Amino acid sequence: MEKIKQFIESEKGKDILIVIIVILTGLGSFELGRLSKEANSSGIKIEYGDQQEANAISSIEPISATFNNSQTNNIISNSGKNFFASSRGTKYYSLGCSAGKTIKQENRVYFTTGEEAQRAGYMLSASCQ
C-alpha cells in the first residue's frame, strides 16, 4: 500500500491518474449516449388518475390547435401575400428570402407588394435584394 501511495503522490502517478479519469469519463459518456438512442427505450410514462387525465387532455387540445402553422402558411401563400416583415422590426423580406427565416410566425406581418410594405414604414432587407 505504501508503494501505491508514493506512486499516486508522484508527478508521473498524478498524470496517469488524470488520463485514467478522462478515459473513464469519455467511455461513460459514450455508453450513456448509446443507451439514450436505444430503439426499445420506452421513455418516461406519466400516469394520471381519471380526473387529472381529463383535465390534462382538455388543456392540451386548444394549445395544439393554435400551433398549426402549415395551414396558416398555405392560406397566406394562396392569398397573394409575397412579402413579410416582423411586427417588431424595420425590414421586410420576400417569401423566398432566407434572411427572414428566424422571424416567428406569430410576429410576421404580410404584404402583397413591396410598395405596400414600404408605405407601412418597412425597408427591404439588404440580404433579399
The domain spans of the chain are: 1-36, 54-128
Q: What is the pLDDT, as a whole number, of residue 129?
A: 76
Q: What is the pLDDT of residue 38?
A: 66
For strands 123-124 and 91-94, give the pairing.
parallel
Q: What is the largest CA-CA distance in the chain?
A: 85
Closest residue by Cα to residue 117 from 91, 88, 95: 91
How many CB atoms within 10 Å of residue 117?
23
Give the pLDDT means over successive 10-residue stretches in the chain (129 positions): 86 90 93 75 68 51 43 49 89 87 90 92 87
Q: Is the pTM of this model over 0.85?
A: no
Domain 54-128 in CATH 1.10.10: no
